[in-house]
Structure formats: structure tokens, C-alpha cells
Amino acid sequence: MTKHRIAARLASVAAVGAVVAGGTVALAPAASAVGSSACTKNVADYDSQTDTTVNFRTGPGTGYTAKGTVPSSTEVRVYCTAKGGAWAYLKVTEGAHKGKTGWIADKWLAVPMQTS
């Protein structure tokens, strides 16, 4: 056997051993978290709220990890958008994720709220 085949076989045996022992093996990494660097359009910061309970993600798309869910009617502060305005980068301003930034599909946000 060549060195390459031996290395590949050892990696396979190690992966099977990890699974048998109750471990897990990552086959493909999740999309890396991105912040405002993924924004393609800056918007005048505005307050809004979620229309429904929605996934709060590490990046603009369903391929990014969900940080959790944000309940319906939660107030947020929107900073910018990505993917043609389909995703909003924002900060949650109340509730369990208060003060955290992340991404929510724009279709789940209410129209801008009046601020006084």
C-alpha cells in the first residue's frame, strides 16, 4: 500500500472508532459566522420588530448556524441588509438575545416602527 492509502485508511478507522465510542465526526463545516462585513446595502438604522418567531442566524442565509429563535413581536434595531435585501443584520433590543447581533430573514420583520 502507498503512504497515501495508509493515511486514508487510518483516517477512516479513526472516524469509525469515534462513532462507535459514542463520539461524532464532523463531515462538513457549517458556514462561518459573519457580521456586518456581509452587508451589501447600508440602511439608515431603524427600529422594527419580528412578525413571527424566527431563527436568529450567524450569517445571511439558511446555511448559517441558528443562534436560537427570536419570539414574535421582539424589538430589533436594523443596521444593513444582504442578498438583495432578503436578510437583515440587526441587534436584538429586548428578550433573551438582548444586545446580541445577528441575521434574520427580512420577510419576518415588520415595517419600520415609529420612534418618539
Question: What domain count does the chain have?
Answer: 2
Specify whether 40 is located in the same domain as 88: yes
Specify whether 44 is located in the same domain as 95: yes
**CATH code of the domain covering residue 93:** 2.30.30.40
Cα separation, 46 vs 75, whole angstroms: 11
Specify whether 40 is located in the same domain as 76: yes
Q: Per the domain annotation, does 116 fall within a domain?
A: no
What is the predicted pLDDT for the residue at 33? 80
What is the predicted pLDDT for the residue at 20? 44
pLDDT tens-place string over residues 21-75: 454 444 334 567 888 888 888 888 899 999 999 999 999 999 999 999 999 999 9
Cβ 84 vs Cβ 51: under 8 Å = no
Q: What average pLDDT does this structure show over 11-21?
A: 44
Sign of dihedral through CA atoms 42, 34, 104, 79? negative
Q: Per the domain annotation, does 61 fall within a domain?
A: yes
**Residue 42, domain extent:** 36-108
Cα separation, 76 vs 9, whole angstroms: 50
pTM of the model: 0.69
